[in-house]
A and B are shown apart, each in its own frame.
Chain A
Amino acid sequence: MSRGQDTAGSRIGMWLFLFTEILLFGGLFMLYSVFRSKYAVEFHRAAEDLSRTAGTINTLVLLTSSLSMALAVAAIRRGKKNGSLIFQGLTILLGCVFLVIKYMEWSAKIGQGIYPDSPALLGLSHGEILFYGLYFVMTGLHGLHVVIGLWALIFMLASTLRGTISGARFVRLENSGLYWHFVDTVWVYLFPLFYLIT
């Protein structure tokens, strides 16, 4: 029973969904602000041990991926299938780069014995335990969203190849793009809160 697609309707649905995602992260940001105000000094100290270089590179990677995502949508709007495919591929690639860097960061920390409930972490002060707790949970949840976003984009890439996404019907690509931008935006907040507060 398909009765033509309602592009504006799909967009409304997507924005509402993104709104729920913001609220989902909102709970964590609330915890962050409560604990940060309670343990300002310890947060400060713990943040010094995170690799600011890795964080900065990752920020650049994600921001660039947002650009290429926007270009992919712009290209399909003008009916340029190949251009869009290239930019979609680039976005996926950059997303993977982000995950690899994130993986290296995490394994370095875990290598030092810093992970939730680890003996080394429990030896530190309360503020530091919570800082790393938030670090792992928030970047973990964000990473999960990157993975979901990547799957969505791979799916879009396939649809574009098959022609079900085209210059005439591109709202799904647009919505996946919105999702991707949302994931980037979350990172834009995570980056200063964890890496730059020293």
Chain B
Amino acid sequence: MPEQPDFYTTTGNKSGLWSWIFSTDHKRIGVLYLFSLLVFFSIGAAFGLLMRLELIAPGKTIVEAATYNAFFTLHGVIMIFLFIIPGIPVSLGNFFLPLQIGAGDLAFPRINLLSWWLYMAGGLMALMSLFLGSGPPDTGWTFYAPYSIRTGTNVTMAVSAAFVLGFSSILTGLNFVTTIHRMRAPGMTWFRMPLFVWSLYATAWVQILATPILGITLLLVVTERLFGVGFFDPAKGGDPILYQHLFWIYSHPAVYIMVLPAMGVITEIIPVFSRRTIFGYKAIAFSSMAIASVGYFVWGHHMFTSGMSDTSRAVFSFLTFIVAIPSGVKVFNWVASLYKGSIRVDAPLLFSLSFIFLFSLGGLTGLIMGSLATNVHIHGTHFIVAHFHYVMFGGAGFAFIAGLHYWFPKMTGRMYSERRAKTGWAFLFTGFQLLYFPLFILGWQGMPRRYYDYLPDFHPLNAASTVGSWILAAGLIIIFFNLLRSIRNGGQAGPNPWGGTTLEWRTSSPPPAENFEVAPVVTEGPYAYHHKKDRIL
């Protein structure tokens, strides 16, 4: 193959920073997003660590109650709206969606760039809400009315930030849907698409269909604060419960925006490291779509104690159990794909297996909360905090890290140190369990969330959890240090270090600006490992 210059050296007519922040190349935008995400994640993680430090002992340790309130709000807003919702789609998705379907770029490259700019604007607004106005927001990331309308803190800014971020997310979603419909390589039928693409497709639909509801809800919070219209204010005839409905109509589907792409990443990694085709391709593809659609009708399970009729509670609870089925389907498919495979436990698979384990724990505890009686007992406790960290961090977060390792050679052309990656994993996984598992027990015993203080009885487990947060932080540092260092120092990776069969492995690492030297033609499904022996790549 005559080597074409890779996309890092093809800067077009711009140079330096400009060749990044004004580039319409999906790969550059993906890398841009990746670093932006890393920055915001670090800020969010710092808030998390500070909160854990405060909770190391009962009473005031390092901050006042009001500061703690600002901490969990900003931690939540950053982690949700700036890290995990955009997360995998905008970084890995942006980079690999066109590659995996054999396209040259996304359908609307300029809109892609616009969504990065909106993302940055939203991110800066969220950070500015910390310093500007009358103090950082203290409502929690859910902005529940009527408190969010009455509090004197800078909620308007934070809410507007989330609105702008939502707009960015919508644009990414419609870009992806259009790309998948229009830009597939010749021969790439729907059922020959890699399952990561399927998961991005389902995610993009959720982004398109759910985010506008968040948009209007947040817009209403702003109008309430500025003009006092009264939709959510009982004194004027409004109803705060309506706010909760509107909020969760978006924010529940949003958890599928977080987790579907994560599942897609895992589905890519498992066949490669067990040298087997994926078990139940169609079941996985359809379960993504099933999760995306049933996921719309379960928002009420966040509001079991807010005031709803018994009938609607029963219905929401039932649907919550239903939505667990497609997730279960996936877990069984992954495990079945590993069965009798020739497994190599490299870092990407290690993180993927941890994903399956942690996500299952998070998912199963979700069922505990989904049943009405137990929900009343654990509502608003640290049980919830443990649950959503298990699904969002143990799930989506671990999958993100798995994907980063898996595709790192393709993105940079280099290999990271496998030994360091595994050390980092060991710290991360141990720290994670020590940090979050005690919170299940504490929550079950009745420790509420969103307080900077607790009863002395809860001290030992809280101290353990805080120690866990340090181990976890060490793990994160090792992992990111390893990756960042290897961008320069890693050994050459070659086009296909893992022996993957999807299209991105057929081009050089890093890919040329045009992605493929010869436009690929697809003749078979994505995970054709069964007749791998008699094929030359």
A, B in one complex: yes
Q: Which residues of chain A have a CB within 8 Å of any CB of chain B?
A: 1, 3, 6, 8-9, 12-13, 16-17, 19-21, 23-28, 30-31, 34-35, 39, 116-117, 122, 125-127, 129-130, 133-134, 136-137, 141
Output the least CB separation between B312 and chain A (Å). Answer: 14
What residues on B are CB-neighbors of A3 within 8 Å?
Answer: 104
Contact A31 to B213, CB < 8 A, known contacts A116-B227, A122-B236, A129-B237: no
Q: Which residues of B contact A137 (CB under 8 A)?
A: 220, 223, 229, 231
* Distance in Å: Cβ of B479 to nearest Cβ of chain A: 34
A125 to B237, CA, bound (A): 8
Instruction: Kindly identify which residue among A6, A17, A23, A34 contacts B242, using a CB–CB cutoff of 8 Å.
Output: A34
Q: Is the CB of A9 within 8 A of B178?
A: yes
B10-43 vs A: 1/0 string, CB under 8 Å?
Answer: 0000000000000011000000000000000000
> In the complex, which residues of chain B have a beta carbon less than 8 angstroms from the beta carbon of A116?
223, 227-230
Q: Which residue of B lies closest to A20 (CB)?
A: B212
Instruction: Check: B458 CB closer than 8 A to any chain A CB.
Output: no
Contacts of A126 on B, CB cut-off 8 Å?
Answer: 236-237
Distance to closest chain A CB from B258 (angstroms): 19
Which segment of B49-57, B105-113, B322-330, B400-408 sits at the interface? B105-113
B517 at the interface (CB under 8 A from A): no
Q: How far is the CB of B243 from chain A (nearest CB, A)?
A: 10
B89 to chain A, nearest CB (A): 15
Minimum Cβ distance to chain A for residue B81 (Å)? 17
CB distance from B235 to the nearest CB of A (A): 9
> Bound complex: CA of A126 vs CA of B235, how far in Å?
8
Task: Let me know if B507 is at the binding interface, CB within 8 A.
Answer: no
The number of inter-chain residue pairs (CB within 8 angstroms) is 105
CA distance A16 to B215 in the complex (A): 16
Q: Is B174 an interface residue (CB 8 A)?
A: yes
Interface residues in B206-242 (C-beta closer than 8 Å to A): 208-209, 211-213, 215-217, 219-220, 223, 227-231, 236-239, 242
**B231's contact among A25, A127, A133, by CB below 8 Å, is which?**
A133
Of the residues A8, A17, A39, A130, contact of B174 by C-beta under 8 Å: A17
Kindly list chain B residues whose C-beta atoms are within 8 Å of the C-beta of A35: 231, 237
Using Cβ atoms and an 8 Å threshold, which residues of chain A touch B88? none
Cα distance A126–B178 when bound, in Å?
Answer: 45
Tell me whether A133 and B178 are in contact (CB under 8 A).
no
**Does B228 contact A117, Cβ atoms closer than 8 Å?**
yes
Besides A23-B209, A122-B236, A133-B236, 11 other A-B contacts (C-beta < 8 A): A9-B108, A13-B111, A17-B170, A23-B213, A24-B216, A25-B216, A31-B246, A39-B237, A126-B237, A130-B231, A136-B227
In the bound complex, how far is the Cα of B111 from the Cα of A17, in angstroms? Answer: 12
CB neighbours (8 Å) of A141 from chain B are 219
* B213 A26 Cβ-Cβ under 8 A: yes
